Structure 1
Amino acid sequence: MTRFSNEDRERIRGDLVEAGHDCFARFGFDRTRVSDVTDVVGIGTSTFYQFFNSKEELYLAVLLNEREHMFETLESAVAEAATPREEAEAILRTTFGEVRSNPLIRRLFVDGEIRRIKSQLDETAAEENATGNCSESATVYGPSVVV
């Protein structure tokens, strides 16, 4: 197993999230393979599992980053509004624009991807707990993940 410095780990994890973002946006979750992401980053597939326990965990990290970016975009739009009506219009205009133009935001808000992926992770964690193979991922994403 390769040892990485904390700085390298942070950089590689960020690169994986960025590459995952591009692959998931282009191909969707089901058609993206771990090797698609690792090829972009330039690491081996086995090294991927030092950073994420599964493709689902990476996808969840990508979706959470997209959600955070969306909230930042909304805050900026609302900050420019002078009245409550303008705020509401800015929120709706920004949200609809993002949903239309960003496939990950569409999957996040319209298709409920976070719930689906979290459910898959919870099922995996329950299976691992039942067999005695405890996974860190079982507690990484608590109920606060649900949009």
Structure 2
Amino acid sequence: MPKFTEQEKERVRESLLVKGKELFIQYGLAKTSIDDIILACGIGKGTFYKFFASKEELYYAILKNEEEVRELLIGKLLEESLSPKDLLTSFFTASFRYADENPFFQRVFQDGEHERLVRKLPKHLADELAMEDTAKGIQVVQALMHKGILPKQDPAIVVGIMKAVMLLRFHKDKIGEPLFDQVIEKMIDYVTDGMIKDTQE
């Protein structure tokens, strides 16, 4: 197996992330093989394993990259000078828009894709995925509490509420597309009112 310079390693890794993302979006985790990925990247199987132990670990790396972009966008939003109601509404609206415009995120939560990923990942990465998701959510909620936007309460419960609202995006077909946007708008309105209620009393 040839030795790579740091630049070559970076180029191969970037190719794996980009081509892997394209294939996962098109075919999903189960139907995308390592052979598909190495063919798209123009590399050998030995080279693939030099970077990732499995296609699931590549998928996980792509997912982390996508989440970092989302967190940057949300972080900028939280810095804006908005009323608590407007800030939370903007948070949910921006999160929904990001999911709508990101086909990889859409794929992650379709057809048991996320469950398949967690099941196939090594335990330490599956645990890391679960912990990081919750921990980052708690950090955001604690920051909102510190600013007085949210009342002091168990941040894990607030994170759970936020996740529940966001998961509605992936049930558009069950809610019914003609009503979906109106349902989401009302749901965000009701949830944000409930979340900030104690700060307004």
Shorter-chain TM band: 0.7 to 0.9
Deviation readout 1:3-29 (Å, 9 max, x if unpaired): 112221122112211111111112211
Work out whether residues 15 and 41 of structure 2, in 8 Å CA contact, stay in contact via their aligned partners in 1.
yes
**Structure 2 CA distance for partners of 1:70 and 1:76, relative to 1, 3 Å:** same
- Give, in angstroms, the shift of residue 114 of structure 1: 5.0
Q: Name the CA distance, whole Å, in 2 between partners of 1:39 and 1:81.
A: 49
The answer for the alignment partner of 1:120 in structure 2 is 120
Q: What percent of counterpart residues are identical?
A: 32
Deviation readout 1:28-71 (Å, 9 max, x if unpaired): 11222222222232212332111111111111111111111111
The answer for the alignment partner of 2:67 in structure 1 is 67
Q: Does 1:86 align with 2:86?
A: yes
Give the TM-score, by structure 2 length.
Answer: 0.56
Corresponding letter in the other structure for 1:92: F
**Structure 2 CA distance for partners of 1:142 and 1:55, relative to 1, 3 Å:** closer
Aligned-CA RMSD value: 2.4
Structure 1 SS opposite 2:31: coil
The answer for the alignment partner of 1:44 in structure 2 is 44
Corresponding letter in the other structure for 1:31: K
The answer for the alignment partner of 1:102 in structure 2 is 102
Query: What stretches of structure 1 of length at least 5 have no aligned partner?
Result: 123-137
Q: Give 1 or 2: higher helix fraction.
A: 2
**Structure 2 CA distance for partners of 1:112 and 1:82, relative to 1, 3 Å:** farther
Q: Name the CA distance, whole Å, in 2 between partners of 1:100 and 1:28.
A: 17
Work out whether residues 28 and 113 of structure 2, in 8 Å CA contact, stay in contact via their aligned partners in 1.
no
Query: What stretches of structure 2 of length at least 5 have no aligned partner?
Result: 134-201
Corresponding letter in the other structure for 2:23: C
Corresponding letter in the other structure for 2:72: E
- Give, in angstroms, the shift of residue 85 of structure 1: 1.6
Larger radius of gyration: 2
Corresponding letter in the other structure for 1:12: V
Work out whether residues 19 and 40 of structure 2, in 8 Å CA contact, stay in contact via their aligned partners in 1.
yes
Greater than 6 Å deviation, 4+ residue runs: none
Work out whether residues 23 and 37 of structure 2, in 8 Å CA contact, stay in contact via their aligned partners in 1.
yes
The answer for the alignment partner of 1:22 in structure 2 is 22
